[in-house]
Chain A
Amino acid sequence: MSGRVAIVALAALGTAVSAYLTWVHYSGSLALCAGAGGCETVQASRYSMAGPVPVAVIGLVGLATITAVSARRLDRAAPVWALTALFGLSLAATLYVAYLTYVELFVIRAVCPWCASVAMATVAVLVLTVSELRAAPQTHS
């Protein structure tokens, strides 16, 4: 599987998980505490919102955008801006999930496996994107 396809697959996976977390947020599926669960703790914390916007929605929009841009790059004739945008978006996403993971581990002290899977997919997208960048001959402008 080429790096481009892997990036699309990982971004799509992250989008799907973010969509699920968004659904959980809006459906009130925090309905039951049937056992100790880090997701419920993370979800109920104030860090699940960025201002008025649920973090899950930020993840959904961000990863859907990354999926769309990376899908655009499946066309070998894709413009250079697609790789630049993919790099910027995946870097921003990685910085944000790094912040959220820090909050989970050291502030909330609970880890949500769904959030962790999104974080891993995001980091993998950045790593693959950087390897694509290194493989591409650099242009000078």
Chain B
Amino acid sequence: MSRRPRQPRGTPTTPPARGGPSRAQLAIAVAVAILAVAAVIVIGGTQSTAPPPPVASGLLIAGNVMGEANAPVTIEEWADFQCPACRAFALGTEPELRTAYIATGEVRFVFHNMAFIGQESIWAGEAGECAGEQNRFWDLHDRLYASQGGENTGTFSKPNLEKIASSIGLGAGFNACLESDRYAQRVRDDTAAGQAKGVTATPTLFVNGRKFQGVLSFDQLRAIIDPLNK
């Protein structure tokens, strides 16, 4: 016995639709599609970009080291200024870490260059060292991550690095330092030291010597730090 397809009660019985939509229906579909996409792009484009993280003022700073020398916990980070994951750690986790642990003397934080993504990683590393000459390493560190763009696409070319540095008040002395490449070897040595310690990806943290790879959240880091502070 053949059965007809079941129809919802109350709806008119229609033959299987083999026709296509009318021109009017297609025009409505096109209009809705264009409006929907425009709305998503406009809403997405008007979002405020994340504000630059607070500069490391009010903290004990010495070059690429932040915090009390005799802090019970030392965190050493190996990172590349061009690495998006390092940026995620620097902008997402570090601000809270600075406030909750570094400013209170519980953690000493050390940055090391692991400049492996390309030439612009080395230049950015050199820029950090040059800023460190004026004890502005961390200010530039924050600004570099906030300015991060594509990898080796000119974002961290020397002229751009000078512009980024000038936005935090670093001028002729910084530029001369960067042009001289006097820290290029130090950046390479830092990277080699990281490789010798077994750093294969960035960011890599050593918390009192124990290795952690990847972007740790503040809560994850707190769970590591607190037992060491007891």
Contacts and interface: CB of A to CB of B under 8 A. Distances in A.
Interface of A: 28, 30-36, 40-41, 43-44, 46-47, 49-52, 55, 58, 76-81, 83-85, 87-89, 91-92, 95-96, 99, 108-110, 133, 136-141
Contacts of B24: 141
A33 B47 contact: no
Nearest to B43: A51
A117 B85 CA distance: 23
Interface string B63-89: 000000000000000001001111110
Interface string B170-189: 00000000000000000000
A91 B200 contact: no
A84 B43 contact: no
Given A28-B215, A36-B152, A138-B19, 18 more contacts: A28-B217, A40-B84, A40-B85, A44-B85, A46-B47, A46-B50, A50-B43, A79-B17, A80-B25, A83-B21, A84-B21, A88-B28, A88-B29, A91-B33, A99-B41, A139-B19, A139-B21, A141-B25
Contacts of A81: 21
B19 A136 contact: yes
B201 A33 contact: yes
Contacts of A78: 17
A97 B12 CA distance: 39
Contact of B40 (A35, A76, A96): A96
A36 B84 CA distance: 10
A58 B39 CA distance: 13
A44 B44 contact: no
Interface stretch (B99-107, B124-132, B143-151, B156-164): B143-151
A80 B21 contact: yes
B222 to A, nearest CB: 16
A44 B88 contact: yes
Contact of A30 (B23, B41, B85, B150): B85
Contact of B30 (A85, A91, A99): A91
Interface string B43-58: 1101101100000000
B8 interface: no
B118 interface: yes
Given A30-B215, A78-B17, A80-B20, A87 B40 contact: no
Contacts of A140: 22-23
Contacts of B22: 138-141
Contacts of B200: 34
A109 B150 CA distance: 6
Interface string B189-201: 0000000000011
B37 A87 contact: no
15 contacts: A31-B213, A32-B213, A34-B200, A52-B47, A55-B44, A83-B20, A83-B21, A84-B26, A88-B33, A92-B33, A95-B37, A109-B149, A136-B19, A139-B19, A139-B20
A133 B153 CA distance: 43
Contact of A33 (B23, B36, B84): B84
Contacts of A139: 19-22
Contacts of A35: 117
B80 A138 contact: no
A33 B121 CA distance: 13
Contacts of B117: 33, 35-36
B37 A96 contact: yes
A130 B36 CA distance: 19
